[in-house]
Structure 1
Amino acid sequence: MSSELLFKGVIPPVSSIFTSEGKLDKDGMGKLIDFLIESGVDGLFFLGTGGEFSQMSVIERKEVAEFSINYVGKRVPVLIGTGSASTREVIELSLHSKEIGADGVVIINPYYWPLSDEHLFAHYAEIAENVDIPILLYNFPGLTGQDLSPDFVRKLVDHYSHIVGIKETVDTAGHIREMILKVKSNHPQFSVLCGFDDHLFNTLALGGDGVISASGNFAPELTVGIYQAFQNNDLRTAIELHQRLAHIPLMYKLDSPFVNVIKEAIQMRGQTISTYVLPPARSLSEQKKQELKSILQKAGLV
């Protein structure tokens, strides 16, 4: 695998847009994709948590992946989420992603059985030995119940050079710092990307590479602005945008799962899309919509 850093900057985890019947809304998806690319993002990640992959069948996941890759048309790098509780299913979805032209896959660890470190390593090893497309790990212990520790990740990357990065959806700078110091310092081509919006600035300051966070769907000007300002050493602008972005995580506490909150925010920011979410997620209540609007106002977004 090349020593080049393959994935960096702002890579929104794109919301999957559905019709009111729960079918893929290709027009809505296309509008959102065009908006994000025009906003200057550095890549797009489909079928992540906000993409509602966990509520889809394998056939539906493949449909979203195929449409998204074809529609993006190589304008920016595309990552496809292929995580599953089943190792065999991860391999099937990852091979499919490679076949249809994905630039990489993002794999969350199994989220039903808690695995021993030995079995968790074997899970990722079996995938890496059967899939030669670039792989990013996805660490979200708040949902999986199991953390991918920096020592564990370093062991994986030592063995498999095409494991090229991680999405760190952890609400602690210390974990991100240790991932950078223990993994990236030994493998400079390894991308460390935070998963929570308000950790972008400190991730960059610690030597990380960017962000894969939900606000990229509805406020890409904030994260893109922070990333670009940091690269240009314009720390004043980066800090100002960081302070605005700090309001955003309050949104995610409005409901659970918060996929509905993201879609309503996209709608409030002027993108005409369907806000339908797949069960067991449900529509956001009118009261919570007003609370969401208030948060967006405090961030200077509406």
Structure 2
Amino acid sequence: MKLRHLLALCGLLAAAALPAAAQEVTLKVHYHLPPTSFAGTLFIQPWCERIAKESANRMKCQIYPSMQLGGTPPQLFDQVRDGVADVVWTLPGYTAGRFASMEAFELPFMMRDPEATSRALWEYAQTHSQAEFKDVKPLAFHVHGPGVFHMAGKPVRTMADLRGLKLRAPTRLTNKFIAMLGATPVSMPVPQVGDALAKGVIDGAVVPYEVVPSVKLEELAKYHSETDPREAAFYTSTFIFAMNKAKYEALPADLKKVIDNNSGQAFSGQIGKAFVQADAQGKQLTAKNATNVIPASELVAWKKLGDKLSADWVKDMNAKGLNGSRMLEDARSLIAKQQAARP
């Protein structure tokens, strides 16, 4: 009898332990672009497929593109912090001034290579951005490819061509730089760009080529003006791929390991590399339109304005009690280090 009771007790204990060991988790993944966007097809969906495979399908994604969980793009960070979503992809710059440290990478003429710069951004964030992102579990920080002028009525060849035009820009610093170049900046998230162009609310938008299919820019913009590819990009934006902290901490150790193996500096670089591929595919869609390159000789004057904006930003950060000079120096040196490490 005692043996039978002992065996029964062991069976009960084993059964009780089974659900924890075989815990299944569904992650609600929320972002602002459509499912056909390059961000969705080249980065978010593949990430979800990897964590499902590496967890033996015990951890899966339920993906909500196009803000299907409600709210607006600037609210995505708060949604993952508060548990409305488990994972989000968003731009810190959508909430101007809230994530001041990230702005160092959004200054003009900082980025040459999205992969190297994304790796640098992850490293930089470990030193300068911990306080800003302490309420979430960052999975990656990255940037996109070079910004491009997508214009409805005329191309951009010189600074003078921008005077009097209304241009969409994504971040606080890009808005400032657009104004310094002579245009009127109009801040709006990417999903609003197509409607604004179609209605003539804006004359053009500065976005990378990867955005083209998401808002049908190949149909709405007749001209695409790039800056000389031998120069650093005139702008880029920073992004965060983040997880709800409580959701992560509640995972069993083996599922945490799956998340950890699919986050961090290497993953950030992989996203940057995916955006290079996305730019190439997005540019193909604009082949029927007119494309021009703004030459390096023209960009000399632009760079002087960019240097002034950078100096003003350092003063602004110092006034907030941050070390603006150190932040900018670290951003530049980390980008250079990662660029030099590329094969």
TM-score (norm 1): 0.29
The one of the two structures with greater contact order (alpha-carbon pairs below 8 A, sep at least 6) is 2
TM-score (norm 2): 0.26
Q: Which structure has the larger Rg over C-alpha atoms?
A: 2
